[in-house]
């Protein structure tokens, strides 16, 4: 059973930065990435890091967010720069193996002055 544990959320002023981390237990993971959800909206993809090393970003975060992955540590990171109030959401780590999709418990990111 794979478990995903996120850390790094918090309160930051507009224009600031945060780094999210997600450590995965288990092995055999393919893609790892991040989704976010704010009240009244569906959970939406932020960034994904595939097993082949390719990355994809939502257009709203391109150039501001960077996803990276440490295979040895089974950890995925999301460096978030130039944060905006509209980035406020609960951020969820995600991963999949050959059997199923997994979610973390979520970490709150609030961008406000």
pLDDT for 6-20, tens place per residue?
999 999 999 999 999
| Mean pLDDT of all residues in 38-61 | 95
Average pLDDT, the chain: 95
* pLDDT over 90 at 28, yes or no: no
Alpha-carbon gap, residue 35 to 83, rounded angstroms = 16
pLDDT of residue 39: 87
Joined tokens for residue 82: 């130039």
pLDDT tier at 72, thresholds 50, 70, 90: confident
- Residue (of 62, 66, 60) closest to 80 by Cα position: 66
pLDDT of residue 73: 80
pLDDT of residue 71: 81
* pLDDT over 90 at 26, yes or no: no
- Residue (of 102, 108, 96) closest to 10 by Cα position: 108
Residue 32: Cβ-neighbour burial (10 angstroms; 0-12, 13-18, 19+): buried
């Amino acid at each position: 059973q794979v478990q995903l544990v996120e850390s790094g959320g918090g309160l930051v002023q507009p224009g600031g930065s945060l780094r999210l981390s997600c450590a995965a237990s288990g092995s055999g993971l393919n893609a790892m990435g991040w989704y976010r959800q704010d009240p009244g909206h569906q959970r939406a993809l932020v960034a994904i890091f595939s097993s082949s090393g390719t990355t994809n970003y939502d257009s709203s975060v391109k150039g501001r967010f960077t996803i990276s992955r440490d295979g040895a540590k089974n950890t995925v990171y999301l460096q978030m720069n130039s944060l905006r109030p509209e980035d406020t959401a609960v951020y969820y780590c995600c991963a999949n193996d050959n059997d199923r999709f997994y979610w973390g418990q979520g970490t709150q990111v609030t961008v406000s002055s």
